[in-house]
Amino acid sequence: MPPRSLHVAVIGAGAAGLVAASELRREGHSPVVFERAAGVGGTWLYDPAASADLLGAGAVHSSVYASLRTNLSRECFGFSDFPFIADEGVGDGDRRRFPGHQEVLRYLQEFARRFDLYGMVRLRTEVASVRRETSASWRVTSHSTSELAGGGGPVQEVFDAVVVCNGHFVTPRVANIAGIGSWPGKQMHSHSYRVPEAFHGQVVVVVGYATSGFDISRDVAGVAREVHVAAATCVEMQRTARPNLWLHPMIERAEADGSVVFQDGNRVKADAIIHCTGYKYSYPFLDEEVVGISVDDNRVGPLYKHVFPPHLAPHISFIGLPFRFEYEDWVAEQCGKEMMEGWRKAMYLAARKNMVDRPENWRDEWEDAHLLSEAYQDLTKYF
Ligand SMILES: Cc1cc2nc3c(=O)[nH]c(=O)nc-3n(C[C@H](O)[C@H](O)[C@H](O)COP(=O)(O)OP(=O)(O)OC[C@H]3O[C@@H](n4cnc5c(N)ncnc54)[C@H](O)[C@@H]3O)c2cc1C
């Protein structure tokens, strides 16, 4: 007997929600994608406005800053059946291997067009709550986020299943710094960082040196007097290739006279601290008691293989929680797809290494060109 076609609510029209909707329809289901923003693309929908609370998320979803370029090459980044190739026909396209955020948004919009997904997406519609209706159905309450909607009130609908794709890089996680309460400077989380101009001539401390800290410290160093990065991997103060950018161990404390003291005893008087310290996973529309899912230090559970709560499977699922090759290969295998291509993994690793070897220009000079022909040979079947 063919499986029953299910009416599925997908929450979010970022990369995960778009792919989920496309695959659900391919399997014969009828998805509705709820998206509170005015367009598809999720975090890649750049929003020049930051949250009013510079350490909180506010109503702002995107964490993308103006200068952001991808940290994966486009070959590596793209969906397996819709390669992210440089479009020679597009006049204002960004053809770089590590393109700017606008190009990623264009790619996701093109994916939605090519796979005819727009008809399934309800833009400017926020899911406020997801409640269990029966053991195999859900009551989803949504409301319009459009200022033109003129009220209208919440809308309730019943779905057979819910797929959660609301994004993981929205709710700031802020560094816990001793003495910060009396420290007089300005603080911001990378979620609210857009452009460096506000830091002109200042002394800035950046906490965290993963991708955002790495990029933002360099962006800010272009205008600031000094930038000091507190990096978990640094044991003593180090100079970088930039004369006004230093690496330090983590922060010991902040003081009322504006000083920031690092764990090796070095101190600077700083005007601002930018927390590039990651995000907390959050599902405000799920009633924890009813759904039985909680988040502990970004571990969402209990979930079978990070996708299905065992007691509710397959009626609610979470997409894209962990990201590791072995896990992604396992998911592909379960879905009857091929494992991730060897060249894709090798390109990912090459980019990580290049970032260390060429911190100032790793996105424009690389040594993995030998993998390109292999990649394009594989991807040609989808051009
Ligand atoms: C600064 C930054 C840089 C990044 N750079 C890279 C990179 O270079 N390479 C890479 O591979 N990945 C990168 N990522 C990871 C990025 O998150 C993924 O590429 C991908 O965009 C995640 O897609 P998603 O659909 O899971 O989430 P999102 O893109 O965040 O989309 C979630 C969507 O859900 C919607 N939503 C949320 N709650 C609700 C609700 N209650 N009702 C309705 N809609 C809702 C949001 O509006 C949003 O559109 C980066 C992330 C950030 C933050």
CATH architecture of the domain 175-275 equals 3-Layer(bba) Sandwich (3.50)
What are the two backbone dihedrals, phi and then psi, of residue 380, each rounded to the nearest 5 degrees?
-55, -35
Q: What is the model's pLDDT at position 324?
A: 87
Q: What is the C-alpha to C-alpha distance for residues 72 and 188, in angstroms, rounded to an integer?
A: 26
Interacting residues of 377 by C-beta distance below 8 A, sequence separation 6+? none
- Residues 71 and 211 sit within 8 Å (Cβ to Cβ): yes
The average pLDDT across 136-146 equals 93
Above 90 in pLDDT, residue 74?
Answer: yes
Interval 238-260 mean pLDDT: 97
User: Of ligand 1's atoms, which has the minimum distance to the CA of residue 71?
Assistant: 8
Rounded to an integer, what distance in angstroms lies between the CA atom of residue 11 and that of residue 257?
A: 46
- Tens-place pLDDT, residues 270-306: 999 999 999 999 999 998 776 788 899 899 989 999 9
74 within ligand 1 shell (Cβ under 6 A) = no
Q: What is the structure's pLDDT at 289?
A: 72
Per the CB < 8 A criterion, the answer to whether 190 and 63 are in contact is yes
Tens digits of residue pLDDT in 310-323: 988 999 999 989 88
Task: Report the DSSP beta bridge partners of residue 85.
Answer: none
Stretch 92-111: mean pLDDT:
95
- d(C-alpha 5, C-alpha 43), whole Å: 30
Rounded mean pLDDT of 211-229?
98
Q: What backbone phi and psi angles, to 5 degrees, belong to 133?
A: -95, -55
314 upstream amide cis, omega within 30 of 0: yes
Q: Does 320 contact ligand 1 (Cβ within 6 A)? A: yes
Separation of CA 283 and ligand 1 centre (Å)? 14
Q: Which CATH number among 3.30.450.20, 3.40.50.170, 1.10.540.10, 3.50.50.60 corresponds to the domain 7-170+279-357?
A: 3.50.50.60
Q: Spell out the long-range contacts of 23-32 with Cβ–Cβ below 8 A and sequence spacing 24 or more.
A: 24/163, 25/120, 27/3, 28/2, 28/3, 29/5, 29/161, 30/5, 30/6, 31/120, 31/163, 32/7, 32/8, 32/120, 32/122, 32/159
92: pLDDT strictly greater than 80: no
Whether the full predicted model's pTM is greater than 0.75, yes or no, is yes
Write out pLDDT tens, residues 156-172. 999 999 999 999 999 99
Ligand 1 probe mutation, 43, 163, 170, 193, most atoms within 8 A of CB: 43
Q: Can you list the positions of beta strands (E) in 231-349?
A: 238-239, 245-248, 251-254, 259-262, 267-269, 272-275, 279-280, 294-296, 299-301, 316-318
Positions of CATH 3.50.50.60 in the chain: 7-170+279-357, 175-275
Report CA(351)–ligand 1 centroid distance (Å): 21
What percent of the chain has pLDDT above 90?
83
Name residue, tokens 């999720």.
42
Quote the CA–CA distance of 283 and 264 in Å, as a whole number.
39
pLDDT band at 381 (very low <50, low <70, confident <90, very high): confident
Distance CA 49, CA 279 (A): 19
CB of 126 within 6 A of ligand 1: the answer is yes
